Amino acid sequence: MGQEFVLLGLVMILALGAYWSLVIFPRQRDFQKQQKYVQTLQTGDEMITYGGIIGRVIEIDAEHGVAHVEIADGVVVRMLAAALVRPYNPDELAESIQKANRQFSPQAETDS
């Protein structure tokens, strides 16, 4: 009876360790990477928001965690600084779209 509890405890500890290493740790790492990116943003930087909107940073209020972002000429929105995901690089974005198109195009399925 005592060995069953020890074995169950060991399995639970291993399961929690696996969950942490496969789920929690990668999320923490991604969150820290995103936080560092937001801290390096400066006025005039072009970036992509969490919702996929491309904009230019006008002002960042780090104390309140709010950024003023111009999304079109004369259209400035306030948004959470945490929603500023990554820098806007048109070449990198075009390359990513081309890879996705090649991967999911009907021609790719017939070539296989």
Q: For residue 16, what pLDDT is reported?
A: 92
Q: For residue 69, what pLDDT is reported?
A: 95
Q: Where are the domains of the chain?
A: 2-92
Q: For residue 38, what pLDDT is reported?
A: 82
Q: Is the dihedral of CA 108, 52, 55, 63 positive or negative?
A: negative
Query: How do strand 75-80 and strand 84-87 relate by DSSP bridges?
Result: unpaired
In our burial notation (b when 16+ CB lie closer than 10 A, e otherwise), range 58-90 reads eebeeeeeebbbbeeeeeeeebebebbeeebee
Q: Point out the residues of the chain with pLDDT beneath 70.
A: 106-112
In CATH, the number for domain 2-92 is 2.30.30.140
- What is the pTM for the complete model shown? 0.61
Tell me the per-residue pLDDT of 45-75, one tens digit each, with 9 for 90 and over: 999 998 999 999 999 988 898 999 999 999 9
Say how many C-beta atoms besides its own lie within 10 A of residue 19's C-beta. 11
